[in-house]
Amino acid sequence: MFAFVLNNPFPSREEKEKGLKAKLIEDIRWLRCDIKTTSLLGNILLNDDAVTSGYQTTILSRNGVITEGSTANVFVVTPDGTIKTPPLNQLCLPGVTRYITLELINQLNWSVAESEFSENELFGAQEVWITSTTKEIFPVTQINDKIIGKGVGGVYWQKIEPLYQNLIS
């Protein structure tokens, strides 16, 4: 057995406003990504690819359709203001922060869809977020070489972030 501890502080508001740089990578993992196992080697290798290329996170795509991040769930705000996140299936691990984010979106009466979306929709989104326990709701402001939105946390994120912080504080 091998174990180690890693200090992973929660991101500050300023870090979140600046956003993350993500690398879009083909999802080559096995077909049961919805099962949290003790071996997430595929996720680790894909995330390492992004980090060693100068990015901070990974967004995964399988056959042109977004599945999830290597360590997070993914949300987009479409040009018409609909918020989309991939549906829970064998290609997506259900996250607690994803669930909370969906609840907050419903409380705000925003249009939301748990549905597939393409790489083109990802790059054309007003906003992109990843959600996870350690990242919370974190804007992605650059994917590969493309700036998303205005290159900072957008107006939807600005509204949902304080609600999320209220819940966890």
Tokens linked to 151 = 């290159």
Phi and psi (nearest 5°) for 100?
-65, -40
Contact at 8 Å (CB) between 153 and 141? yes
CA distance 74 to 157: 13
Residue with the two structure tokens 């700036």: 147
Residue with the two structure tokens 């929709």: 121
The answer for residues whose C-beta is within 8 angstroms of residue 10's C-beta and 6 or more apart is 134, 136
3-class DSSP state of 58: strand
* DSSP string covering 11-25: PPHHHHHH-EEEEEE
CA distance 21 to 50: 9
| Residues involved in catalysis | 36
